[in-house]
Each structure stands twice: as C-alpha cells, then as structure tokens.
Amino acid sequence: MTDRFADQWGLITGASSGIGKEFARQLAARGMHLVLTARREELLKELAEELHTRHGTRTELIVGDLAETTFAGHLYETIKSKGIQIELLVNNAGAGYVGTIQDADVRRMAQLVELNIRSLTELTYLYLHEMLTRKHGAIINVASVAAFQPVAYMPVYAASKAFVLHFSEALWAETRDQGVTVMAMCPGTTQTDFFDSAGVGGWLKKHRSQTVDQVVKAAFKGLRKKRQYYISGWLNYWLSLAVRLAPRRLVVIESMKYFRPTSSGSRKNKD
C-alpha cells in the first residue's frame, strides 16, 4: 500500500513536531505531497521548506487548532476548495495531561476530548466517505499503548486513546473489503517533548523509549499488512498483553506509580 503514495496527497495533523513531523519527512521521501496542519505556523513553514529542498515535495499549510470545535470542518472544506484529493489521512494531533483531580482544569479536559476524540472522529468520517466512494485510501489514527488500560493521573488521555483504538478497529472491520484501510497506531514511550511538557519530567531518562523514526516505520509496516492496530516495539506489545491479563484493579493502581505528577499544578502538551 505505501508504494502507492508517490504523487498522491496526504494530510497530517499535528505536523509541527514529534511523530507528526516524522510522518511528514518519511512520506515526502516516498514522493507524497502533503497538507500539513498544526497551531505553530513558523514550525510548519520550516518543515515545508525542508521537505521541498530534500524531496521537491509540494505542501499546503493550514494553521489552526483542532481543539476548536469548528476547525476540523474548516480544514476539510479548505482542502476540498483547493481540489486536493487525500489518499492518506494521519490523525496525529493530540494532547496529553498529567495531574491530580484537584489540579485538573475542567476546560482543558474538555479541550483534550475535543482534540483527541471529536476532531479525529469528524475528519475520519469526512475522508472515509470519499475513500469508500473511490474504493482506495488509508487512515492512520495515532493512539497509544495507554489505550489498553486505565491510567491514574492521565484518565482523560488514556480514555481518549482507548476510544481511538476501538473506533479505528471497528471501522477497519467495516472497510477491510472495500479497498480502504483504517489502522490505529499504538506507540509506547517515544523520544519527543511530550512527557516533559505533560508533567512527568525526566521520564525519558528513566524508561526505555523509541525514536520517532522507529514509530513511523512501524506504522507503515502495519499499514502494509492492513492491520487494524499496530503496536510499535515488542516490549510495548507484550506490555499491552500483560495489562489485559492482569486484574483491572491491579493495573490501574499500579499505574499510579508511573504517572504520579512530579510537581503540583496542571500541565499539558499539544502537538
């Protein structure tokens, strides 16, 4: 499937850094033209220049925040008005938060749900309708190994990623015989700034992690195999099995040891 990306268009949300940025680099190397969206315009411009210099890739930049209720629809209509047909959608934009119940800002929690769930759902359905009509296309929804368990101090984040996983798997079942693949990508600890800005500073120094290069290559491997979900790394895979076999009470209590906030006050990270 990934060999059909040359001269096609892809859409990547949360493309300004981390996993989203690496998706852009690897897709451009495959000859794909890209629509990139994120909140940080300067970072998008730098990335677009890099991709054009290295690969001659055509890019369209649409700056905005998918935590805003109307932006997903605006994004879709803007791309449509440009006459661009999206062959691959990478729903990567997401927010993470680590904090106690007392520190949690209710408005921020609602924005996290808006970004991680509602906007992802809207974009998925909008482009699935087009892809099913054409009988080809693919969607990668970035979830997490946290999708397989409840996580104390990150309840909204883990629950939102569980939605992404189950939502994607269900759509995969419906579309698998219609020329379209929907896949949930489930990375574990990855070398981005997520953990520091989400409130667990020093996490990467204490735990094994993967590079964004490894995560994106794993995503393409899963897509080629037309998997309904794909976990990056064998250690993460076995962890996902372990938490499903262990008593749920034990799993969520044990999670408190790993994600206890390092300082008081709420923190969050947006891609």
**How high does pLDDT run on average in the chain?**
89
The residue that leads in pLDDT, 90 or 209, is 90
Out of 90-99, 138-147, 185-194, least confident range: 185-194
Instruction: Count CB neighbours of 86 within 10 A.
Output: 21
The whole-number average pLDDT for the span 11-24 is 96
User: Which pTM value belongs to this model?
Assistant: 0.91
157 included as an active-site residue: yes
- Residue 232's Cα: distance from chain center in Å? 13
Instruction: Count CB neighbours of 253 within 10 A.
Output: 11
Q: In whole angstroms, what is the distance from residue 35 CA to residue 62 CA?
A: 7
Closest to 154 in 3D by CA, of 238, 95, 114 = 95
Catalytic residue chosen out of the listed positions 153, 157, 229, 230: 157
Contacts of 204-210 with C-beta under 8 Å, sequence gap 24+, read 208/235
pLDDT grade, residue 266 (50/70/90)?
very low
Q: In whole angstroms, what is the distance from residue 165 CA to residue 159 CA?
A: 10
Q: What is the pLDDT of residue 76?
A: 98
The whole-number average pLDDT for the span 191-211 is 58
Domain spans, the chain? 2-270
pLDDT grade, residue 237 (50/70/90)?
confident
Q: What is the pLDDT of residues 21-56, one digit of tens each?
A: 999 999 999 999 999 999 999 999 999 999 999 999
Q: How far apart are the first and last CA of the chain?
A: 27
Q: Which CATH superfamily is domain 2-270 in?
A: NAD(P)-binding Rossmann-like Domain (3.40.50.720)
Q: In whole angstroms, what is the distance from residue 153 CA to residue 156 CA?
A: 9
- Residue 163's Cα: distance from chain center in Å? 12
Q: What is the pLDDT of residues 143-181, one digit of tens each?
A: 999 999 999 999 999 999 999 999 999 999 999 999 999
The whole-number average pLDDT for the span 105-112 is 93
